Amino acid sequence: MERIVSGEQSIELPVNTYVRKLGSEDKFYVKGQFIGEYDGRRLIRIFFLFRNIEEELTREYVLEMALTDAKIFPWFFDIEQNKMIIDARWFTHLGIPVGDCTLTADEFAARVHPEERDGLIEALMSQIAGKLNTDLFTYRLQRADGTWEWFQEKSVYLGRTEGAPYRIVGVCQSIQNHKIVEQNLIAARDRAQESDRLKSAFLTNISHEIRTPLNAIVGFSNLLTHGDIAIDSSEGQEFVSLINTNSNQLLALISDVLDLSKIESGTMEYNFAECGLGRLLSDIYHNYLLDMRPDVRFDLMLPDEDMKITTDAVRLRQVLDHLLSNAAKFTFAGHIGLGYAIAADVRTVELFVEDTGCGIPEDKQRDIFKRFFKVDSFVQGAGLGLPICRTITERLGGTVSFVSRFGEGSRFAVTLPLDGES
């Protein structure tokens, strides 16, 4: 301890100093100092002053944990220095240098998002001018990496001098996680509302889709059974053809609904085995060849050598049937092609259906895989084919993609691994 000529000199106790009770293991943290009293160069007496800070430290640490976990940062505005003094954790949280923990109003404003900047700075200047505002303010701050984070803050006065605030104190809290949850809930609500709307439209549409072929089947059957038209006549054969066509449409519609039900309940079965793509596509080609319009050329586009992959041939055929059905439905002239090719990575194969049909409008392309969505509500169909295609393809370990130009045509591609599920 240094000596002085007269008066007192003190030494603060180090951090984490504790006192143990005499004759006991009990101890408690203290804060205090040793004070030496001098007369000339002679030490007269030493005083030991301390206070128990056990509860104070406990509250301090608990508050620190609470503020840190809740991402709450206290601050105050020093009006004389025209500076904001902010908790050091705020700087660390945003990833910016701590420095002396101060920012000017302009430096702080530079970090506020332009959409909220004017309103927030106007409120702060109003507070400084003595107009108390205890409202909550929500704004975004720019982090060191350039991203934006949502905060919420509130401030009050710390006393007044001569009618003006002595100091403005406040707290700000990161509410980014709350915003993310809020956005997710809004998105979920919007999806639920859209799903409900589409399902309502589906129920309306499905009743029409079922009634239309049923009416045709019943009507033409009655004409053949109770009318004067012979089945073997040309008109009778046309009626039989219409009955057959509408029966197939009704069967396809019911199959789609049943498949959707299996997908929803997770009961759709898959059986993987080796499958020859050339034979599979040839069978599909010949089944559709006679159903094409007179002005549409239908081409089978296969490599010279056949390829075998491990997949569920039944489900893969179901996917290609849907894609070909759509191509035939929307192509009135030109070309439809069915084929496959090995991808550049030599680990996958791409099966494709291409056409020169009406194509898909650009503003509707992002929705075509949504259930119950129809590009053209006047064209027959329930809007289930493409969603079922995507679900089955993904279960087969692959992906389905497309390119389309409105008025020029579309190309759908199913990419599958060579060795089954990936």
The pLDDT assigned to 1 comes to: 41
Q: Coil, strand, or helix at residue 300?
A: strand
Say which residue the tokens 């980014």 belong to.
176
The domain made up of 196-263 has a fold known as Helix Hairpins (1.10.287)
- CB atoms < 10 A from the CB of 405, how many? 12
The amino acid sitting at 188 is A
| Angle at alpha carbon of residue 270, lines to 255 and 319, rounded to 5° | 50
Output DSSP code: residue 9.
Answer: E
CA 287 vs CA 113, 166, 325, 365, 370: distances in Å: 61, 88, 11, 29, 28
Of 311, 312, 310, 286, residue with least CA distance to 300: 286
- Please give the backbone phi and psi of residue 274, each rounded to the nearest 5 degrees, phi first: -70, 135
The amino acid at residue 21 is: K
Q: How many angstroms separate the CA atoms of 382 and 202, rounded?
A: 7
Domain ranges of the chain: 6-57, 71-174, 196-263, 273-417
Contacts of residue 129, defined as CB under 8 A and 6 or more positions apart, other chains included, come to none
Position 162 scores a pLDDT of 64
Distance CA 245, CA 211 (A): 14
Residue 351, phi then psi, degrees to nearest 5: -100, 135
Q: What sign does the CA torsion over 414, 415, 419, 422 have?
A: negative
For residue 239, how many C-alpha atoms fall within 13 Å in the half-sphere facing its CB? 20
Residue 271 exposure: Cα atoms within 13 Å on the Cβ side: 3
Task: Tell me the two tokens of residue 120.
Answer: 């927030």
CATH dotted code for 71-174: 3.30.450.20
pLDDT (0 to 100) of residue 3? 41
Low-confidence ranges of the chain (pLDDT < 50): 1-5, 422
Decide: residue 179, CB within 10 A, 0-12 exposed, 13-18 middle, 19+ buried: middle
- Residue 163 pLDDT: 62
Q: Taking the model in full, what pTM does it have?
A: 0.49
Tokens of 256: 């789609």
Q: Which amino acid is at 31?
A: K
CA contacts within 13 A on the Cβ side of 107: 12
Q: What is the pLDDT of residue 102?
A: 92
Instruction: Give the strand order in the sheet containing 409-417.
Output: 296-301, 334-342, 348-355, 409-417, 399-405
CA–CA distance, 78 with 90 (Å, rounded to integer): 17
For the record, the structure tokens of 405 come out as: 């130009």
**Integer angstrom CA distances of residue 251 from 29, 212, 247, 341:** 83, 13, 6, 32
Cβ neighbourhood burial of 268 (10 Å; 0-12, 13-18, 19+): middle
Amino acid identity at 387: P
Amino acid at position 40, single letter: G
Same fold, 196-263 and 273-417: no
CA atoms 396, 398, 404, 408: torsion sign = negative
Scan for tokens 């396809």, then name that residue. Answer: 252
Alpha helices in 298-384 (DSSP H): 313-330
The answer to whether the CB of 412 falls within 8 A of the CB of 357 is no
Angle subtended by helix axes 385-395 and 313-330, to nearest 10: 150
CATH of region 273-417: 3.30.565.10
CA distance 106 to 146: 18
Q: Determine contact, residues 320/312, Cβ cutoff 8 Å.
A: no
